[in-house]
Amino acid sequence: MTRFDFQPSLTDGLVTLRPLRAEDWASLHAVARDPAIWASHPARERWREPMFRRFFDDCLASGATLVIEDALNGEVLGSSRFDTERAGDGEIEIGWTFLTRSRWGGTTNAAVKRLMIGHALATFERVIFLIAASNSRSRRALEKIGGALLPRHFDASIDGQAIRHVIYGIDRASFANGPLQASPIV
């Protein structure tokens, strides 16, 4: 397998994705401290500084997290991450994504996912997404970009609770023929 770059710099004119750095703490925390971002997430308290600090430190240590910025003005909009720990052979996971609410429901999530999935599928056969079964907003967002529900699940421990996660996938063929390719962003 080709060596994979877990922290590429990617852009499409709408968003720029770049490697997370320690000095991103203040700007990411400014986005993440909105409780509504986490309301439907299993880690509902992640907006609180100590919980977000743990999340941020874990993302930084992963060496696989990307900061999401507005490509026009450099405003920090959130972050996302690659991981292979819970993925099967030929797969990579994209997750840990959060966006400022002002970008919900628009083209930002699709742009981020298009860039990350395109990058990942140059090396891997399929990208997977683990989403809490009860998180209907994130599930709808994945379905909107062409994610297909796979016949498996994963039980993750979040804040000491076992949370059932469903798994969505996008492979090379579904990406090439799916909604992320149907209408170019820019």
What CATH number has the domain spanning 10-181? Answer: 3.40.630.30
Look at residue 184 and tell me whether its pLDDT is greater than 70.
no
The whole-model pTM stands at 0.93
Q: What are the boundaries of each domain within the chain?
A: 10-181
Q: What is the DSSP string of 21-62?
A: -GGGHHHHHHHHT-HHHHTTSS-TTTTSHHHHHHHHHHHHHH
Residues 102, 165 contacting (CB under 8 angstroms): no
Residues 98, 126 contacting (CB under 8 angstroms): no
pLDDT in tens, 87-130: 999 999 999 999 999 998 889 999 999 999 999 999 999 999 99
**Percentage of residues in the chain having pLDDT higher than 90:** 82
Look at residue 50 and tell me whether its pLDDT is greater than 50.
yes
Question: ∠ at Cα 123 (16, 115), nearest 5°?
Answer: 20
Task: Supply the pLDDT for residue 182.
Answer: 56
What is the arithmetic mean of pLDDT over 163-186?
84
Task: Give the confidence band of 186 by pLDDT, cuts at 50, 70, 90.
Answer: very low
Look at residue 141 and tell me whether its pLDDT is greater than 70.
yes
Which value, to the nearest 10 degrees, does the dihedral of the CA atoms of residues 3, 6, 12, 15 take? 180
Of 69-73, 85-89, 117-121, 177-181, the range with the lowest mean pLDDT is: 177-181
Residues 65, 59 contacting (CB under 8 angstroms): yes
Look at residue 55 and tell me whether its pLDDT is greater than 60.
yes
